[in-house]
Amino acid sequence: MTYVTSSARAEMSELRRLKTLLPPELQNWVMVEGSTEINPPLIRCEELGRDEVEIQIDLAKWESLAIDQRNLLFWHEVARIQNDTIPREGWEMAALAIGLGGAVGELWVQDGLLLLLALGLCGISGYRLWQKNNGERKLKESIEADEKAIALATRFGYTLPNAYKSLGSAFKTLIEQTPNRRQRKQYESRLQALRRSAGKAKEKMQQDKGKRPLR
């Protein structure tokens, strides 16, 4: 067996394994595929249609992570699908182009009402684009998905401490491997939020343990 054949089989095996980590309610409409792009992100979701989503993975980078790290990062994307926060190919860019074109045209013909409508279209589409690309909003959505990924891990048999440790170690590895400063900062912020969440979870477990009646 050649190295290429062996590598291809290992990749297919990993994709099949990840498919089994999807909750049953998602298995019919969420695909798991290797990315075919040049220098793609490690993992991301993409909406293919109204009832079809694909999780794309850069399998070359993926192999450098431990199994538990992979699982928690995968469940993060699953959580984003469940939270309905995956990016969509929206109408905003097209609307912005139409609005700008209309505004220039109406300036030429000096139609005040149509100019206001074109500027309004520019404003709405521009605001929606800002919302989609707002760093604080994206970070908040990522932290919420991290929390849900922890819950998914416990659903698949992880203890709560091990789920937190696995996701935390994944962040540490990604921080070391990520050259992009902005992306690295996102991972650092998510790690800090995860540590705070783990601390609260540990405190709650200790309180619950103290409330249990003695037998």
pLDDT of residue 112: 53
The reply to whether 24 and 71 lie within a common domain is yes
The reply to whether 64 and 79 lie within a common domain is yes
pTM here is 0.76
The reply to whether 77 and 138 lie within a common domain is yes
C-alpha separations of 95 from 108, 122, 129 in Å: 20, 7, 11
Residue where one domain finishes, among candidates 132, 151, 185: 132
d(CA 166, CA 158): 10
The reply to whether 122 and 143 lie within a common domain is no
Q: Is 28 a domain residue? A: yes
Question: How many residues are present in the chain?
Answer: 215
Task: Give, in degrees to the nearest 5, the angle at Cα 56 between 141 and 50.
Answer: 70
The reply to whether 44 and 80 lie within a common domain is yes
202 or 106, which is more confident: 202
Give the pairing type, strands 30-34 and 43-49: unpaired
d(CA 144, CA 136): 12
Q: Is 215 a domain residue? A: no
**pLDDT-based confidence at residue 162 (cuts at 50, 70, 90):** very high
Q: Which region, left, alpha or beta, applies to residue 173 given φ > 0 means left and ψ of -120 to 50 means alpha?
A: alpha
Mean pLDDT for the chain overall: 81
Domain enclosing residue 113, as ranges: 92-132
pLDDT in tens, 59-73: 999 999 999 999 999
The reply to whether 156 and 52 lie within a common domain is yes
pLDDT in tens, 178-194: 999 999 999 999 999 99
Residue 34: helix, strand or coil by DSSP? Answer: strand
The reply to whether 60 and 71 lie within a common domain is yes
The reply to whether 113 and 14 lie within a common domain is no
The number of folded domains in the chain is 2
The reply to whether 164 and 183 lie within a common domain is yes
Query: Residue 196: what are its φ and ψ, rounded to 5°?
Result: -65, -45
Partners of 34 in beta bridges: 57
